[in-house]
Amino acid sequence: MKARWLLLCAVCAFPALASRQVVDDAGHSVAVPEQVSRIADAWFAHHSVLMTLGAGSKIVATVNHPADRPWMFKINPALNKALQVKGIAFNPEALLVRQADVVFVARGNPDVAAYRQANLPVLEMAFTDYPSLERSVRTTAEVLGTTQARKRAELYNRYLEDSVASVLAKTVSLSDTQRPSVLHIQSLNPLKVDGSDTLIDTWITLAGGRNAAQSIRGNMKEVSPERVLAWQPDVIILGQGCGDISASHYAALFSGLKAVKEKRTWPNPAGVFPWDRYGTESALQLLWAAHQLHPALFADTDMVSITRDFYRRFFDYPLTHDEALRILHGQPPA
């Protein structure tokens, strides 16, 4: 009885000793502190989840950088004071010095064992489609353990579900001939595209398109320019940092593509994180893609207003009209 009383006193005196069990996206049960105030995040895309849940200011160590993610650092300026590293590996001792309560990593991160050896709670996160994105948002909210985070998780997941439902209601009945073929290029040098079994493939299909690279499986797959010529996409969407086809090595070769001749090559929006990839802004990407591919069906979709509302609601940031336009055009802050 006395031993139990001493243990209870110790927990009360040192709140960090108290813990909860949370199951991460890899299925591991992880003991996390009752209060999570200082976070190390080693997954580029997961930062947007933390910001969506109102915990962006708690990040004390990051793998992102202002040069690559200018909107992320503008909207969440606390990141400028965080430890910034190149690559995806933190020094465990540096995290201990910064008193990190938890470490988020992408599933399969090779440094997990080193973090655990330093007694740092590590959560492996992953999402590859909308259901797993919702799960990851809920998991992150459970790690944060606050009423606000859990409420924001519910609000965001409902927003995502409503976005999918509203788009699908208008595109589900489209025939194959009504669906333009869409090629999503992640890089022009080297030439890389996104194929099937990806979130990119999911939003292309939901938005009323057909993935021109459907025969290739996975993200950021290197292909030959001849393959792109064979696909002859109706639309080309260029990922952030991809550049312009007219200024690339393939300017002359791709000049005969239908998408290029009809001026249907579009830079993808990029805000806190590139909308086309694995972040919470994927809900906006779906709406944007649907409006771009089928402007008549989505004539009442005002992407500037939708973007401003999303950033106010989930990032607590009063985005201006001009800032929303820059994000929609894939441009950095002015």
Mean pLDDT by 10 residues, the chain (334 residues): 39 53 96 97 97 98 97 98 96 97 97 97 94 97 98 98 98 97 96 95 97 96 97 97 92 96 97 95 98 97 98 98 98 96
Burial-class residue 80 by CB neighbours within 10 Å (0-12, 13-18, 19+): exposed
Residue 156 included in any domain: no
Same domain, 90 and 216: no
Residue 117 included in any domain: yes
Backbone phi, psi, residue 268, to 5°: -80, 140
Residue 5 included in any domain: no
Residue 163 included in any domain: no
Model pTM score: 0.91
Per the structure, the count of domains in the chain is 2
Same domain, 241 and 310: yes
Same domain, 130 and 184: no
End position of a domain, from candidates 144, 167, 188: 144
Phi-psi region of 77 (alpha: psi -120 to 50; beta: other; left: phi over 0): alpha
Same domain, 182 and 137: no
End position of a domain, from candidates 128, 144, 160: 144
Same domain, 31 and 83: yes
Same domain, 138 and 192: no
Residue 172 included in any domain: no
Same domain, 101 and 33: yes
Residue 334 included in any domain: no
End position of a domain, from candidates 122, 144, 166: 144
Give the dihedral of Cα atoms 228, 176, 276, 259; nearest 10 deg: 40
pLDDT tens digits, one per residue of 285-307: 999 999 999 999 999 999 999 99
Residue 140 lies in domain: 17-144
Same domain, 39 and 137: yes
The rounded distance, in Å, linking the Cα atoms of 69 and 78 is 14
Instruction: CATH number of the domain at 297, please.
Output: 3.40.50.1980
The rounded distance, in Å, linking the Cα atoms of 98 and 60 is 7
Q: How far is CA 40 from the centre of its chain?
A: 17
Instruction: Using the structure block, give the residue that is written with the tokens 């607590």.
Output: 316
Same domain, 140 and 183: no
Residue 167 included in any domain: no
Give the model's pLDDT for residue 3: 42
Residue 155 included in any domain: no
Give the model's pLDDT for residue 18: 67
The DSSP annotation for 5-44 comes to HHHHHHHHH-GGG-EEEEE-TTS-EEEEESS---EEE--T
Same domain, 188 and 136: no
| Amino acid at the residue 31 | A
β-pair partners for 19: 33
Same domain, 134 and 192: no
Instruction: Using the structure block, give the residue that is written with the tokens 């040098």.
Output: 189
Burial-class residue 162 by CB neighbours within 10 Å (0-12, 13-18, 19+): exposed
Same domain, 104 and 217: no
Half-sphere exposure of 18 (CA within 13 A, CB side): 12
Q: 32 and 100 in contact (C-beta within 8 Å)?
A: no
